Amino acid sequence: MDTARPTAQLPLRERKKLRTRQALVDTALELFTERGFDGVTLDELCEAVEVSKRTFFRTFTSKEDVACAPLHDMWTAFLKELEEPPGDAGLPVFDLLRDTLLRTLTRMPADDWPHRVLLSRRLAERTPSMDAHGLAFCDRTSRTVVDTLLRRFDLGGTPYEDLVPRLTVDVLVAAFHRALEIWTAGAGDTPRTAEDLATAVRTACAAVPASLALPARPRPVP
């Protein structure tokens, strides 16, 4: 089952753990997609992966968590990527974040990650508790991102705590979510790649200025 990955040379124990984790994610996405999030009990999932429920909860914090793993992984990779020294100095933070996100996308495992994200997002759209879990995770991650930014960059001491940089991150996250939505909704079973998603992210980010300037002409009342 999917050995010899870029798992490189981790201690055996770690590799085993990662394999269990991946098996749980894949089986969960498969079962949930087939019978719905609520149509599958954790006992069944654990049975299928041959793992005790106790072990499941040592790997994931909740039933939602396992189904949201693909995007969790991406954001975790994003945080790592953000620690790398940026190419251009003086670039607006928003562009820096966008580029970091795009770079992260190119580095996700190209063969299976996009498919996992697709399944996960489709599930989230019809499973409120999954959606909630994903949003809360993004929110927590955003805080971490702001902390990293403050540590690495001189943002000129903004008033009201971290209002300005935090808004920057919020806008990027919003744009990413819109991109995901568009990417996920795309026609039926067309294969989706991380590049497609990157394109959508670029589009969404580019649409931000227009969204702030968008004029509201009232319709003629019917």
Partner DNA sequence: AGCCATAGTGCCACTCAGTGGCACAAGCCA
Partner DNA sequence: TGGCTTGTGCCACTGAGTGGCACTATGGCT
Closest CA relative to residue 121, chosen from 2, 37, 27: 37
Q: Which is nearer to DNA, 22 or 203 (CB)?
A: 22
> Which partner from the list a copy of itself, DNA, none does 17 bind, CB cut-off 5 to 8 Å by kind?
DNA
Q: Contact 41/33 with Cβ under 8 angstroms?
A: no
> Which partner from the list DNA, a copy of itself, none does 174 bind, CB cut-off 5 to 8 Å by kind?
a copy of itself
3-state SS class at 221: coil
Cα–Cα distance for residue pair 184/124, rounded to 1 Å:
11
Closest CA relative to residue 131, chosen from 97, 180, 170: 180
Q: Which is nearer to a copy of itself, 70 or 134 (CB)?
A: 134
- Segment near DNA (CB under 7 A); pick from 53-61, 81-89, 150-158, 183-191: 53-61
Cα–Cα distance for residue pair 150/59, rounded to 1 Å:
31
Binding footprint of a copy of itself on the chain (CB under 8 A)? 85-86, 89-94, 96, 128, 131-133, 135-136, 139, 149, 151-156, 160-161, 163-168, 170-171, 174-175, 177-178, 181-182, 185, 203-204, 207-219
Cα–Cα distance for residue pair 154/127, rounded to 1 Å:
41
The binding site for DNA (CB under 7 A) comprises 11-14, 16-17, 20, 40-43, 50-55, 57-59, 61-64
